[in-house]
Amino acid sequence: GDQVEQSPSALSLHEGTDSALRCNFTTTMRSVQWFRQNSRGSLISLFYLASGTKENGRLKSAFDSKERRYSTLHIRDAQLEDSGTYFCAALNMGYKLTFGTGTSLLVDP
């Protein structure tokens, strides 16, 4: 079936630094959504993209509009509250949502 490969699986950042997460798709996807899951289990929607890029504060996401085979999430000036587990989830042509296996992000002072 469709696969979503998310990397890295774990990431440790110092406050104020930048980094990027990536999801590769084994097949063409219609759209991608990025979530952050907090310690209570709540999945908070960060971005939904059908193409192009979106930016919200220190977060920016991009979805490859040509091949539609990967997406990235950039974190700028990481803060302590950015800690959590990040998931991408992609919707294929059959409208089935497939999740990546997550990136566990820890931001320390």
Partner 1 sequence: NSKVIQTPRYLVKGQGQKAKMRCIPEKGHPVVFWYQQNKNNEFKFLINFQNQEVLQQIDMTEKRFSAECPSNSPCSLEIQSSEAGDSALYLCASSLSSTSAETLYFGSGTRLTVL
User: Is there binding between residue 31 and partner 1 (CB under 8 A)?
Assistant: yes
Per-residue burial over 12-34, b if 16 or more Cβ lie within 10 Å, else e, is: ebeeeeebebbbbbeeebebbbb
Distance CA 31, CA 108 (A): 32
Distance CA 9, CA 12 (A): 11
User: Is there binding between residue 88 and partner 1 (CB under 8 A)?
Assistant: no
User: Is there binding between residue 50 and partner 1 (CB under 8 A)?
Assistant: yes
User: Is there binding between residue 85 and partner 1 (CB under 8 A)?
Assistant: yes
- Closest approach of Cβ 17 to partner 1, in Å? 24
Per CB under 8 A, which region of 17-25, 31-39, 63-71, 73-81 contacts partner 1? 31-39
- Closest approach of Cβ 57 to partner 1, in Å? 14
Q: Which one of residues 16, 65, 80, 96 is an interface residue with partner 1 (CB under 8 A)?
A: 96
- Closest approach of Cβ 16 to partner 1, in Å? 26
